[in-house]
Amino acid sequence: MSEVAYLPVGKREQTKVQNRQAILDAAREVFGELGYDGATVRDIIRRTGLAAGTFYNYYRSKEEVFAALADDGARRFNPILKALRGRGGPLEDFVREAIVAYFEFMADEHETWMGRRPAGEPQPHVHGETPEMAAVFAEVKDAIENAIAEGRGPASDAEYMAAAAIAVAREVGDKMLMRRPIDTAAAADFAIAMILHGLKGVPEAHG
Amino acid sequence: MSEVAYLPVGKREQTKVQNRQAILDAAREVFGELGYDGATVRDIIRRTGLAAGTFYNYYRSKEEVFAALADDGARRFNPILKALRGRGGPLEDFVREAIVAYFEFMADEHETWMGRRPAGEPQPHVHGETPEMAAVFAEVKDAIENAIAEGRGPASDAEYMAAAAIAVAREVGDKMLMRRPIDTAAAADFAIAMILHGLKGVPEAHG
Amino acid sequence: MSEVAYLPVGKREQTKVQNRQAILDAAREVFGELGYDGATVRDIIRRTGLAAGTFYNYYRSKEEVFAALADDGARRFNPILKALRGRGGPLEDFVREAIVAYFEFMADEHETWMGRRPAGEPQPHVHGETPEMAAVFAEVKDAIENAIAEGRGPASDAEYMAAAAIAVAREVGDKMLMRRPIDTAAAADFAIAMILHGLKGVPEAHG
Amino acid sequence: MSEVAYLPVGKREQTKVQNRQAILDAAREVFGELGYDGATVRDIIRRTGLAAGTFYNYYRSKEEVFAALADDGARRFNPILKALRGRGGPLEDFVREAIVAYFEFMADEHETWMGRRPAGEPQPHVHGETPEMAAVFAEVKDAIENAIAEGRGPASDAEYMAAAAIAVAREVGDKMLMRRPIDTAAAADFAIAMILHGLKGVPEAHG
DNA sequence: AATGAATGAGAGTTCATTCAT
DNA sequence: TATGAATGAACTCTCATTCAT
């Protein structure tokens, strides 16, 4: 009788949350394996064991679940990044810590992303560019540009710098995930060194 | 130079070559505009003025024409690379010259690839990853790994090094193509400095 | 008038009746706006604020609620018709009074049916053919046939006569509803004259 | 060599024409049986024995094939109507001849339309309102209105008159088609008498 | 070799209906 | 009895590929 009204968590609500999560997880896997275009809504729901129509109770389209994935990733990684940026230290510190955080995040998530492209296919598709990573990259790029603008980093071509730093992180991270055991420390060391030394050697802005 | 007159280059032969080239050209455009998945065989043949079935006289599938495109790109860029690699100098020289050659090649080819993605779409897709570029990257990566193996470069993690170098070249190259005027020299300066300084600072191999 | 207090009209009972009516009303609207095929059960229940499943506690299918609507319409119009038919006068009188009653009924009901088809669609669809009208027509047709059979009307082809009379009433009624102000008297005058003069001129039965 | 260039009627062209016609015929049947909304493209192609995709080589959508059907009907019946209208005689003559022509046209076409609604279904749907008929009715209505405007017919409510005349023709025609044998003469006699006598008795315009 | 219509698997999506709560 | 998420058959339409001409 006194069914304490804490939260609306009946079995139904639970199932709903679980299903939503199941679809999100399946979508993550499928997009990772097949790329955005290669993936089909059917691929996603098939992996959940749910019925075809059920997908549409949660997301209105393939595009929407993709967007949700990006939100999800950003929601989880951005706080870390925000904290790092809040400190306002030199760019060097930010890069160092961001890379470490990013690689660890990647490794954490990684089993979901492991279904790599079946090597027969042409080549294109997503790269490391999962929706979640896209959100992360946007944030990093912004941070780097801010740091440069505030004089906390070398005054070179901000866009090129951000692009180069991100590119290194992404590619090295990608490679890292393909090795066993996954050694985030080594990969981070490499990427940090590459980026910091590289950026230091970059020519002055030509503006 | 003096196209020897007695080769069996009848009209038919010529048409065949022309058609093959027309399809290749159309495919280049279409893949550039729509991406691999977004492109349809119909898009390609429509642009050639040929009939649907004719496509299959030349390529057995969409995938095959994509691969042919990669070959084509490699065929045109590889001589440059080969010459560079033949000299066997230090990695530094190779990187410097390869980057310059690559950026100029990119700028050259560029107008063909200008039909960029209609920015409304989600996120992922091709990157600068045209089939031709893919071939180029494979070659560069090979060269870097060889150089390292031969002691002509710093003994660090070869795979990470190649990945990082290529990543920087690709991303900076991509950004370069988006600016007006396209300044290959400045972009090359940036990328070369970034890569060389970066690689120099990279930790020793942990093997 | 004095709703006797001791009938078993508990809250539950009332809710049930109310829900049934709410569904019927919503269905009337939705069928009117979207047509039978265009309408979805979801459209109907959404308009009631009830849950999807609840619909099936009252009607077993879309078809059944449609039929119920016809019954409902008949139930409301038939008393008028029955009274008219009970008098057993000449067909002329019956037609005259039936038309007047019908047009007034139509005008009365009219606002419910105003959500007319979004004119972009092809062509066909419902006509004035709401389920309630269908029931009314069946009744009128029956009356005319009876009158003829009883010698209270000209002995021509009964089916053709009924069809023609009904057709005129329906179409003129439809047009009437589209004008402002709605002039039932004028429309009825027209329809009555058309039907009575028309039927009078019709050839003798060829049986 | 002298393959006389009369017309491009190779076997291919023939098949194409045949297929187009087969789809049109199937569509006529299916729309007749199921109504516009009830009909599916699948129903149509299933009846042709063609493959699903083939439909779309000929018509881009259900709507388009429906429109084509209307065109087809109009194309065949309108010349008759046009000829009748060209004579400019009194409305009476026009009605008489138009009804005869229309009923004969209906009977001609009729076997295609015989698949009547499986009597269990609700009721709504197309009535006699096939796309072809729709075109025909538009023409008739226009003719009647013109006649009235030119003083070649009684000056009453033009819209009501047209609606009533069309309604009678349609409904009586519908009934006619359901009888065996189909007696167009008797049906025409009835409809003509009904319409002409009816219109004559109609009240003066209330303008 | 070129043609272009035919094919049919499969994509995204809808919706009447069921059923656990 | 009310709820509303789950179901899955069916739908419209696309497109790589085949094949008769």
- Chain A partners within 8 Å of B134 (Cβ): 123-124
Say whether pLDDT at D66 is over 80. Answer: yes
The predicted structure's pLDDT at residue D128: 45
d(CA A30, CA A44): 6
Total residues belonging to chain B: 207
Nearest to C160 among D35, D175, D200 (CB): D175
Say whether pLDDT at A5 is over 80. Answer: no
Domain shared by B131 and B54, yes or no: no
User: Dihedral angle at the C-alpha atoms of D162, D164, D169, D171, nearest 10 degrees?
Assistant: 140
Q: Which two tokens stand for residue A112?
A: 């979901």
What is the percentage of chain C residues whose pLDDT exceeds 90? 25
pLDDT band, very low/low/confident/very high, at D9 (cuts 50, 70, 90): low
> Chain B: residue nearest A189 by CA?
B203
Q: Which two tokens stand for residue A103?
A: 């690689």
Domain shared by D126 and D172, yes or no: yes
The predicted structure's pLDDT at residue A57: 93
Say whether pLDDT at B93 is over 80. Answer: yes
The predicted structure's pLDDT at residue A164: 93
Domain shared by A141 and A41, yes or no: no
d(CA D171, CA D191): 9
- Chain B partners within 8 Å of A66 (Cβ): 122-123
Mean pLDDT of chain D: 78
The predicted structure's pLDDT at residue B132: 64
Nearest to A67 among B122, B156, B159 (CB): B122
Q: Which two tokens stand for residue A31?
A: 């997009």
The predicted structure's pLDDT at residue C74: 72
Transcribe chain A into DSSP letters.
-----S----HHHHHHHHHHHHHHHHHHHHHHHHHHHH--HHHHHHHHT--GGGHHHH-SSHHHHHHHHHHHHHHHHHHHHHHHHHT---HHHHHHHHHHHHHHHHHHHHHHH-----TTS-S-S-TT--HHHHHHHHHHHHHHHHHHHTTSS--S-HHHHHHHHHHHHHHHHHHHHTSSS--HHHHHHHHHHHHHHHHHHSPPP--
Distance, CA of D15 to C1' of F20, in Å: 12
Half-sphere exposure of B196 (CA within 13 A, CB side): 19
Chains with ≥3 Cβ pairs under 8 A against B? Answer: A
Q: How many CB atoms lie within 10 A of CB A162?
A: 21
The predicted structure's pLDDT at residue A59: 93
Number of domains making up chain C: 2
d(CA B46, CA B36): 16
* Structural domain that includes position C191: 62-207
The predicted structure's pLDDT at residue A132: 58
* Strand E bases contacted by the protein (CB, 7 Å): 1-21
- Among C31, C92, C121, C123, the residue to mutate for chain D (most D Cβ within 10 A): C123
Task: Please check whether residue C2 lies inside any domain of the structure.
Answer: no
Look at C189 and D87; give whichever has higher pLDDT.
Answer: C189
Half-sphere exposure of D82 (CA within 13 A, CB side): 7
CA of A51: nucleotide with nearest C1': F7
The whole-number average pLDDT for the span B95-105 is: 85
Q: Residue B67 CB closer than 7 angstroms to strand F?
A: no
Task: Please check whether residue B3 lies inside any domain of the structure.
Answer: no
Distances from the Cα of A80 to the Cα of A109, A141, A168, A169, A170, angstroms: 15, 15, 20, 16, 17
Domain boundary among D27, D45, D60: D60
Nearest to D131 among C37, C66, C123 (CB): C123
d(CA A68, CA A27): 10
CA of A16: nucleotide with nearest C1': F5
The whole-number average pLDDT for the span A84-113 is: 79
Task: Please check whether residue B1 lies inside any domain of the structure.
Answer: no
CB contact at 8 A, C124 and C191: no
The closest alpha carbon to A169, from A127, A131, A123, A118, belongs to A127
The predicted structure's pLDDT at residue C186: 95
- Chain D partners within 8 Å of C67 (Cβ): 122
Chains with ≥3 Cβ pairs under 8 A against C? Answer: D
CATH of the domain at D20: 1.10.10.60
The predicted structure's pLDDT at residue D135: 63
- Chain B partners within 8 Å of A196 (Cβ): 201
Transcribe A165-185 into DSSP letters.
HHHHHHHHHHHHHTSSS--HH
Task: Please check whether residue B200 lies inside any domain of the structure.
Answer: yes
d(CA A125, CA B37): 8
A3-12, A53-62, D182-191: lowest mean pLDDT where? A3-12
CA of A63: nucleotide with nearest C1': E12
Task: Please check whether residue C50 lies inside any domain of the structure.
Answer: yes
d(CA A161, CA A163): 5
| Maximum average pLDDT range among A18-27, B145-154, D70-79, D172-181 | A18-27
The whole-number average pLDDT for the span D28-41 is: 84
Q: Which 3-22 residues of chain C approach strand F with CB closer than 7 Å?
A: 12, 15-16, 19
d(CA C96, CA D195): 18
Look at C175 and C135; give whichever has higher pLDDT.
Answer: C175
The whole-number average pLDDT for the span D142-169 is: 84
Domain boundary among B25, B44, B60: B60
The closest alpha carbon to B188, from B169, B174, B171, belongs to B169
Distances from the Cα of A7 to the Cα of A2, A14, A20, A104, D207, angstroms: 14, 11, 18, 33, 69
The predicted structure's pLDDT at residue D147: 79
pLDDT band, very low/low/confident/very high, at C146 (cuts 50, 70, 90): confident
Q: What is the pLDDT of residues A164-206, one digit of tens each?
A: 998 899 889 888 887 888 899 999 999 999 999 999 999 877 5
pLDDT band, very low/low/confident/very high, at B97 (cuts 50, 70, 90): confident
Nearest to B160 among A164, A190, A196 (CB): A190
Distance, CA of A37 to C1' of E21, in Å: 38
Domain shared by A47 and A148, yes or no: no
Nearest to C190 among D66, D195, D203 (CB): D203
A1-10, D67-76, D94-103: lowest mean pLDDT where? A1-10
Domain boundary among D60, D85, D104: D60
Q: Which two tokens stand for residue A126?
A: 């997503």
Helix (H) or strand (E) holding C102: helix C91-113
Domain shared by D56 and D66, yes or no: no
Say whether pLDDT at C82 is over 50. Answer: yes
pLDDT band, very low/low/confident/very high, at D133 (cuts 50, 70, 90): low
Distances from the Cα of A127 to the Cα of A36, A57, A117, A135, C118, angstroms: 11, 30, 9, 15, 47
The predicted structure's pLDDT at residue B22: 92
Q: Which 25-54 residues of chain B approach strand F with CB closer than 7 Å?
A: 39-42, 52-53
| Maximum average pLDDT range among B102-106, D112-116, D199-203 | D199-203
Distance, CA of A149 to C1' of F13, in Å: 51
CB contact at 8 A, C157 and C206: yes
Task: Please check whether residue C156 lies inside any domain of the structure.
Answer: yes
The predicted structure's pLDDT at residue B136: 67
CB pair distance less than 8 Å for C190 and D157 = yes
Domain shared by D28 and D114, yes or no: no
The predicted structure's pLDDT at residue D155: 78
pLDDT band, very low/low/confident/very high, at C15 (cuts 50, 70, 90): confident
d(CA A194, CA B201): 6
Distance, CA of D204 to C1' of E21, in Å: 68
Domain shared by D189 and D132, yes or no: yes
The closest alpha carbon to A69, from A32, A42, A106, A116, belongs to A32
Give D38 to chain C, closest Cα distance, Å.
7
B132-141, C66-75, C141-150: lowest mean pLDDT where? B132-141
Distance, CA of B42 to C1' of F14, in Å: 11
Domain shared by D45 and D72, yes or no: no
Domain shared by C176 and C119, yes or no: yes
CB contact at 8 A, D63 and D147: no
CB contact at 8 A, A132 and A72: yes
The closest alpha carbon to B140, from B83, B198, B78, belongs to B78
Look at A187 and A137; give whichever has higher pLDDT.
Answer: A187
CATH of the domain at D82: 1.10.357
Q: How many CB atoms lie within 10 A of CB A16?
A: 13
d(CA A23, CA D103): 60
- Chain D partners within 8 Å of C61 (Cβ): none
The whole-number average pLDDT for the span B196-200 is: 93
Domain shared by A54 and A79, yes or no: no
The whole-number average pLDDT for the span B140-166 is: 83
The predicted structure's pLDDT at residue B110: 63
CA of A10: nucleotide with nearest C1': E21
A129-138, C54-63, C65-74, C97-106: lowest mean pLDDT where? A129-138
pLDDT band, very low/low/confident/very high, at C7 (cuts 50, 70, 90): very low
Domain shared by B195 and B148, yes or no: yes
The predicted structure's pLDDT at residue B206: 54
Task: Please check whether residue C194 lies inside any domain of the structure.
Answer: yes
Domain shared by A36 and A107, yes or no: no
CB contact at 8 A, A22 and A54: no
Task: Please check whether residue B194 lies inside any domain of the structure.
Answer: yes
CA of C65: nucleotide with nearest C1': E16
